[in-house]
Structures are given as structure tokens and as C-alpha cells.
A = this chain, B = another copy of it.
Amino acid sequence: MGFALLGLLAQEPLSGYDLKLRMERRVGNFWSAGHSQIYPELARLEGEGMVEHRVVEQQDRPDKKVYTITDTGLHELKEWVTAPVEPGVVRDELVLKAYSVWLADPEKAVTLFRDQQRLHKEQLLRYEEIGAWMEEEWGEDLYRLDSPRFAIYATLQRGISYERGYTEWCAWLAYRLESGVRGGGARA
């Protein structure tokens, strides 16, 4: 989790509250955390010398602690980025449901998977819109390997490929459920 915060702070100094807002919107669409995780984690990172903060006083709003990544933190983050990853476990409740779909009423199952197809399709369209916006607004930056915009665009591409795959799978399964056969009857 700490590296998600460091990844954000490597781009710009932010308060815990700012980080919370960005983490709720899902960092790179593939991570998230609530504020109750963020504040203690910032304290931990500061204890390890990865970040430091200064208090910024505000008139109309509560004062805030603005965190900055340190050289140590930046170094650790860089090391971590290219360090090998062990394959993590993927957990997906819908796929687990699919595993027992043979027990279900096919009509209800169709409803479930068509609904999910629609939701993932909507998310796909949102991602594609954002992608088009980035291409227009950020242009050449998307090809600069040392630009954060390139990295943000890269994670968005994974979002697009993920949602496209998910949508297609839902559609495939819903179609099979609609046109399939129950019981010992033959196909064709």
C-alpha cells in the first residue's frame, strides 16, 4: 500500500486528504484505500524517512499536513518499480458464481451476466473517453517514458483491456445461457 502513496507523492506534494480523494478514485484504476488506512500509513512512511510533512495553515479551512517524498522514498520507489513480482491470487466473485451457474435458473443467470456486461461496457466506454481525452490533451507526453502522463496512460490501457475482456466474457456466457440446453437433451 505504501508504494501507492509514494507513487502519488512522486508526482506532487499532497495532504492526507488529497491522497484520500485520489485513492478513492482508484490509483491507476487498480488500487484503492480508505482514509483510515492512509493516515497511519503516512505516519509509518514518515517514520521510515520515506516522506516528510509540513503544516500548511489555512484561514477558511482546517490546517493540513502536506507530505513530500524524500530522496530515500524516491529511491525505494524506483527500486520497487522494476523489482520482480510474485503472481498474486486473483479473486473474482462473479467468476466464482459462474462456477456454480449450472445449479441456477438460467433466466436469472442471464439477467445477472447481462447486467454485469452492461456495467463493464459502461466502464470501458468511460475509460476510452478518458483515453481519447489524454491523447488529445497530452499528445507527445504519452510517448515520453519519464513523464507521469505516460505512466497514467499505461495503467488506463490495462483498464481498457480488462474491461473489454470482461465485457466479452459476460456476453459470451449470457449468450450461451440464452441459447443453451437444459437436461439430458442433445444440442443441435
Cβ of A21 within 8 Å of any chain B Cβ, yes or no, is no
Shortest beta-carbon distance, A185 to chain B, in Å? 8
6 new A-B contacts, CB < 8 A, other than A88-B92, A98-B155, A150-B176, are A3-B100, A4-B99, A31-B92, A95-B155, A101-B145, A161-B168
- Answer whether residue A55 sits at the interface, using C-beta atoms and an 8 A cutoff: no
Type the 1/0 row for A22-63, where 1 means its CB is closer than 8 Å to any CB of B.
Answer: 000011111110000000000000000000000000000000
0/1 per residue, A150-188, Cβ < 8 Å to B?
Answer: 111011011001101110110011001100111111110
Known: A28-B95, A145-B106. A100 touches B81 (CB 8 A): yes
CB distance from A110 to the nearest CB of B (A): 9
Whether B146 and A102, one on each chain, are in contact in the complex, defined by CB atoms closer than 8 angstroms, is: yes
A28 cross-chain contacts in B, Cβ below 8 A: 95-96, 98-99
Interface residues of A in 86-121 (CB under 8 A from B): 87-106, 108-109, 111-112, 115-116, 119
